[in-house]
């Protein structure tokens, strides 16, 4: 065939269409370059990213984390001080409607003993977490926070105690609390309604998050991956909310069922998708404090370390009294055994094996630490 004719035929050939993989890689690079993605782009990443794309996101996320934090991992001391809860979230093992739970509360002295043990091991952040327990009035919480602040002025105090009024949040901050964790769980109102009773509204949760950030808390949001009825569009909405809110902390973990809830027979969320989303959040929010959650480690052995290798830079270890830990089960399979010093040293060794260092530090968000 003459060369001219061959060239003409080639000119009529369709232009190659970029592959989905290259499209996802481009979207990942867009996030890494500091640009936001629209909902459609986020859905494309969630639905179409290949293993190679996820590895590309992981490598870029690790580079971003190292740029801002080096190989440091901040370890927090978690104190689960009450499993009473006024709320009835359909996925939660300590929901009000679960009558099989043996309820407990820790008083201020017990909480302070947990802090003392953690402090002796190098912990410089204490995370006080509970169900939404009305026994701990604003005055009671203020007293507990004030006593911890007086005893440990060099430590950060994080609260994770649910929805309260703006005035209560302000008093907690004034008493010495530094951070507040309040996962939004899903940013889509219809989906929120599928996971909660009618008395609980997404608008209330979002108002609380706005209040916390406005009054000056280092604020944490977050969501479950693979919760019942969740779609890729829901996850894209979650990521879009984080991009808009720009919280100081983000907690993401796979949905894990609890046998005594309405969702007890549901399948667990994907660990691999959770790891991918951790990488995307690191790219979206380069300086965010990003835990590799206990739920990740519960869902698959070694996944907590994989979370660090996906861009996370925070771990939480349980300082709660050993005789109470088994009563604070948000999902089945959670590890509740282990002496605090042994767990701390084991985590330190596991981090060292993957090239990271456990830091004795408050580990504030960089914008606050300046």
Q: What is the pLDDT of residues 198-208, one digit of tens each?
A: 999 999 999 99
Report d(CA 143, CA 145) in Å as an integer.
6
pLDDT above 70 covers a percentage of the chain that reads 94
Report d(CA 37, CA 205) in Å as an integer.
24
Range of the domain at 170: 71-369
Give the model's pLDDT for residue 335.
Answer: 84
pLDDT band at 278, cuts 50/70/90? Answer: very high
Read off the pLDDT of each residue in 172-198 and give the average, rounded to a whole number: 98
Q: Quick check: is 345 in a domain? A: yes
Report d(CA 366, CA 370) in Å as an integer.
6
Q: Quick check: is 240 in a domain? A: yes
* Residue 96 vs residue 11, higher pLDDT: 96
Domain count, the chain: 1
Checking if the pLDDT of 180 tops 70, the result is yes
Structure confidence by residue, pLDDT tens digits, 216-233: 999 999 999 999 999 999
Strand partners of residue 249: 220, 289
Give the model's pLDDT for residue 10.
Answer: 40
Report d(CA 345, CA 192) in Å as an integer.
39
Give the model's pLDDT for residue 370.
Answer: 56
What is the DSSP-derived secondary structure letter of residue 291? B
The CATH number assigned to the domain holding 265 equals 3.20.20.70
Q: Which of 34-43, 94-103, 192-201, 358-367 comes out lowest in average pLDDT?
A: 358-367
**Furthest CA-CA distance within the chain:** 92
Q: Quick check: is 57 in a domain? A: no
Question: For 317, phi and psi rounded to 5 degrees?
Answer: -115, 145
pLDDT above 90 covers a percentage of the chain that reads 91
Cα→Cα distances 238→179, 192, 225, 245, Å: 21, 12, 10, 10
Give the model's pLDDT for residue 213.
Answer: 97
Q: Quick check: is 109 in a domain? A: yes
Checking if the pLDDT of 183 tops 90, the result is yes
pLDDT band at 360, cuts 50/70/90? Answer: confident
Give the model's pLDDT for residue 368.
Answer: 84
pLDDT band at 22, cuts 50/70/90? Answer: confident
pTM summary value: 0.92
Give the model's pLDDT for residue 14.
Answer: 45
Name the CA radius of gyration of the chain, rounded.
22
Q: Quick check: is 204 in a domain? A: yes
Cβ count within 10 A of residue 2? 7
Checking if the pLDDT of 19 tops 90, the result is no
Q: Quick check: is 51 in a domain? A: no
Q: Quick check: is 33 in a domain? A: no
Give the model's pLDDT for residue 220.
Answer: 98
pLDDT band at 21, cuts 50/70/90? Answer: very low
- Supply the mean pLDDT for the chain: 93
Provide the residue count of the chain.
370
Q: Quick check: is 19 in a domain? A: no
Read off the pLDDT of each residue in 92-111 and give the average, rounded to a whole number: 97
Cβ count within 10 A of residue 102? 8
Q: Which of 14-28, 81-95, 167-181, 332-346 comes out lowest in average pLDDT?
A: 14-28
pLDDT band at 48, cuts 50/70/90? Answer: very high
């Amino acid at each position: 065939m003459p060369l001219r004719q061959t060239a003409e035929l080639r000119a009529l050939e369709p232009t190659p269409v970029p592959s989905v993989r290259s499209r996802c890689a481009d979207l990942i690079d867009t996030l890494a370059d500091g640009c936001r993605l629209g909902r459609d782009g986020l859905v494309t990443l969630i639905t179409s990213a290949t293993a190679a794309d996820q590895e590309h996101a992981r490598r870029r996320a690790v580079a971003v984390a190292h740029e801002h934090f080096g190989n440091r991992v901040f370890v927090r001391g978690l104190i689960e001080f009450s499993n009473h809860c006024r709320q009835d979230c359909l996925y939660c093992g300590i929901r009000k409607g679960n009558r099989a739970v043996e309820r407990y509360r820790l008083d201020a002295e017990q909480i302070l003993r947990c802090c003392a043990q953690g402090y002796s091991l190098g912990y410089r952040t204490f995370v006080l977490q509970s169900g939404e327990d009305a026994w701990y009035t604003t005055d009671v919480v203020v007293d507990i926070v004030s006593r911890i602040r007086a005893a440990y002025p060099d430590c950060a105090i994080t609260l994770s105690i649910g929805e309260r009024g703006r005035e209560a949040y302000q008093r907690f901050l004034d008493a010495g609390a530094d951070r507040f964790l309040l996962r939004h769980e899903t940013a889509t109102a219809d989906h929120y309604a599928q996971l909660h009773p009618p008395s609980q509204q997404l608008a209330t949760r979002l108002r609380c998050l706005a209040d916390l950030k406005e009054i000056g808390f280092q604020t944490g949001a977050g969501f479950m991956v693979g919760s019942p009825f969740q779609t890729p569009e829901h996850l894209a909405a979650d990521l879009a909310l984080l991009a808009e809110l720009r919280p100081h902390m983000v907690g993401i973990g796979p949905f894990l069922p609890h046998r005594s809830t309405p969702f007890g027979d549901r399948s667990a969320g994907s660990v691999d998708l959770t790891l991918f989303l951790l990488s995307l959040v690191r790219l979206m929010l380069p300086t965010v404090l990003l835990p590799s959650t206990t739920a990740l480690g519960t869902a698959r052995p070694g996944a907590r370390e994989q979370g660090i290798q996906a861009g996370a830079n925070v771990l939480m270890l349980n300082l709660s009294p050993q005789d109470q830990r088994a009563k604070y089960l948000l999902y089945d399979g959670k590890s509740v055994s282990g002496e605090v010093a042994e767990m701390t040293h084991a985590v330190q060794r596991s981090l060292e094996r993957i090239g990271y260092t456990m830091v004795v530090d408050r580990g504030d968000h960089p914008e606050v630490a300046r």
